[in-house]
Amino acid sequence: MLAKILLVVGLFGLARSVEQVRYDNYKVYNVRIDDLEQFKLLNSQESSLKLSSWREARHLGESSDLMLPPEYQETFESLLATHNFTYRIKIDNVQMHIDAQKPKQRITSMEWTQYHTLDEIYAWLDVIEERYPDIVTPFTIGDSYEGRPIRGVKISYKEGNPAVFIESNIHAREWITSATITYFIDELLVPRNPAVRDIAQNVDWYIIPVLNTDGFAYSHIVERLWRKSRLQSDPTGRCIGTDLNRNFDYLWMLIGADSHPCSEIYAGPSPESDPEISQLTAYINNSIPEGAIKIYISLHSYGQYVLSPWGHTALEFPEHYPQMMHVAKGFSDALYRRYGTEFTYGSSATTLYEVSGSGKEWAYAVKNIKIPYTIELRDKGELGFVLPPEDIIPVARELTEGFVGMIAAAREIDIL
């Protein structure tokens, strides 16, 4: 029997009881797909076995990370055996790791030893805005679909700096992204070494720690593995949410996106249908001087990648691909040198999978930002979305080192 936890949540003044989704004894399997038959077989079993994909193989020879409820595991394993799949179990009990992400005792101040809620992150933004008024300029791009403010900070030590723009946690369940980018903000305010001081003082950083505020709140309160926004666009009312990283207005719905509201990669009813995206692009258009942003980063997990355009085709590369790769190598080499963590870099379509309507593609093709990336943080799928809180500081330190290397490489080729 599943133990149900009832929470009473005050949501905009409405008291509602919310049942928290649990994953007791759910397993995550890493399954390699070697031929088309195996591919078709898995697809056909998706709903009958309640398969949920954490990461999907898009090419033969690659592996998918698939989560299954306990009651289907036996059937699934015998299916895998009969059809000669190569597989292993990566996570034995997803709920155990979700529980490990919840602090036994909440500390509301930020020490990067636990995952924080949106309210706690915003309370911390209030603190730094008050403590460093000459360096931190707060901004809000607007409200989310459900009315939560979407806040960011501009960190600037002096006028005339080139800028880097970072949006993080556009996918709700990727908690490591906001956890580490807030640490990076702290580093910029109190640099712990000269290299970080340099990139703090000589670059302006626009950072939105949680872009998908509704989804993030939902992932804390109800469904830890929620990915999308909370837009209600399905006429049947059954399926909720847009994949915000498919909702940008460039080659919207061309490839690697879905028009069905129930899909995890549902692109939304129209480009920029979701206020999170329309207001992000309006903010970049109207509130940041044209040409100021030299690097655009969309921060995600997991897989350890630095991904550049193009997402929509593996057959062509953008004009600035050599520059993109030079700077990605700078990021990747710097953190490997210091921490031994490997990040793979290349275009999305050639390195991971095809995608269109994503932030980095829009940044490049519409806004002419020459260096646009999706960065996928740790890990390579051992724990995926349920990294323990002990990993926040190590991941944040390597991200910081990566940014130092990224800026150095961008300077070498006069991007900054």
Look up residue 407 and give its two tokens: 């800026």
244, 239, 263: which is closest to 141 by C-alpha? Answer: 244
Closer Cβ to ligand NAG, 277 or 377, answer by number: 277
Judged by CB under 6 A, the stretch of 181-189, 208-216, 280-288, 390-398 that binds ligand NAG is 280-288
Distance CA 63, CA 33 (A): 6
Distance CA 285, CA 71 (A): 50
Out of ligand NAG, Zn ion, none, what residue 193 binds, judged by CB under 5 to 8 A for its kind, is none
Least distance CB 247 / ligand NAG (angstroms)? 12
Look up residue 342 and give its two tokens: 């490997």
Out of ligand NAG, Zn ion, none, what residue 192 binds, judged by CB under 5 to 8 A for its kind, is none
44 near ligand NAG, judged by CB under 6 A? no
User: At CA 327, angle to CA 325 and CA 331, rounded to 5?
Assistant: 110
Out of Zn ion, ligand NAG, none, what residue 171 binds, judged by CB under 5 to 8 A for its kind, is Zn ion
273 near ligand NAG, judged by CB under 6 A? no
Q: What is the largest CA-CA distance in the chain?
A: 65
Distance CA 347, CA 364 (A): 13
Judged by CB under 6 A, the stretch of 197-205, 275-283, 300-308, 391-399 that binds ligand NAG is 275-283
220 near ligand NAG, judged by CB under 6 A? no
When binding is defined by CB under 6 A, the residue of 156, 180, 242, 281 that contacts ligand NAG is: 281
Residues whose CB falls within 8 Å of the CB of residue 377, separated by 6 or more in sequence, listed in order: 174, 176, 177, 180, 299, 300, 301, 302, 304, 395, 399
84 near ligand NAG, judged by CB under 6 A? yes
Of 354, 376, 398, 401, which is the active-site residue? 376
40 near ligand NAG, judged by CB under 6 A? no
Query: Where in 113-142 is the site for ligand NAG (CB under 6 A)?
Result: none
Active site residue 264: no
Residues whose CB falls within 8 Å of the CB of residue 243, separated by 6 or more in sequence, listed in order: 171, 227, 228, 229, 257, 263, 264, 265, 266, 267, 268
Contact 146, 241 (CB under 8 A): no
Least distance CB 171 / Zn ion (angstroms)? 3
Catalytic residue numbers read 376
| List of residues contacting ligand NAG (CB under 6 A) | 83-84, 278, 281-282, 285, 366-367
